[in-house]
Amino acid sequence: MSDPASELERLRASIDRVDDRILESLNERARLARAIGTLKAGQAYRPEREAQVLARIKQANPGPLADETVALLFREIMSACLALERPITVAYLGPKGTFSERAALKHFGLAAEAMPTASIDEVFRAVESGAADFGVIPVENSTEGAVGRSLDLMPQSALKVCGEVVVRIHHHLMANAAPKDFADIRRVFSHGQSLAQCHEWLNTNLPQVERVAVSSNAEAARRAAEEAGSAAVAGEMAAEHYGLKILASNIEDEPNNTTRFLVLGDYEPKPSGHDKTSMVLSARNRAGAVYEMLTPFATRGVSMTKFESRPSRVALWEYLFFVDIEGHRHDANVAAALEEVMKIAGYLKVLGSYPIAVL
Last residue of one domain, picked from the residues 23, 57, 83: 83
Residue 303 lies in a domain: yes
CATH code for the domain of 11: 1.20.59.10
What pLDDT does residue 145 have? 86
Query: What pLDDT, on the 0 to 100 scale, is given for residue 41?
Result: 60
CATH number for the domain spanning 102: value is 3.40.190.10
In a domain, 76, yes or no: yes
d(CA 320, CA 282): 5
Q: Is 103 in the same domain as 75?
A: no
Q: In this structure, are 79 and 104 located in the same domain?
A: no
74 in the same domain as 9: yes
CATH number at residue 289: 3.30.70.260
Residue 56 lies in a domain: yes
For residue 337, with 0-12 CB atoms within 10 Å meaning exposed, 13-18 middle and 19 or more buried, which class applies? buried
At 314 the pLDDT is 64
Same domain, 183 and 201: yes
pTM of the predicted protein model: 0.85
Q: Report the relative pairing of strands 347-355 and 275-282 from DSSP bridges.
A: antiparallel
What pLDDT sits at residue 1?
Answer: 53
Q: What pLDDT does 96 receive?
A: 87
Domain around 337: 275-355
In a domain, 136, yes or no: yes
Does residue 160 lie in a domain region? yes
Residue 9 within any structural domain of the chain:
yes
> Could you say which of 49, 83, 117 is where a domain stops?
83
Is residue 79 located within the same domain as residue 95? no
**Same domain flag for 122 and 158:** yes
> In this structure, are 190 and 235 located in the same domain?
yes
Does 253 map to a domain? Answer: no
Based on the domain organization, do 19 and 61 belong to the same domain?
yes
- pLDDT given for residue 179 in this prediction: 65
Give me the number of domains the chain comprises: 4
Within a domain: residue 270? no
Are the CB atoms for 103 and 165 separated by under 8 Å? yes
- Of the three residues 83, 107, 134, the one that is the final residue of a domain is 83
| Series of mean pLDDT values for 10-residue runs along the chain (359 residues) | 82 94 94 81 79 92 92 91 87 89 93 93 96 95 87 94 94 84 88 91 94 91 92 93 93 91 95 95 87 93 93 72 96 96 93 91
pLDDT score, position 30: 92
| Backbone CA torsion sign across 343, 344, 345, 346 | positive
Q: How many Å apart are CA 329 and CA 351, to the nearest integer? A: 10
Active site residues: 259, 261
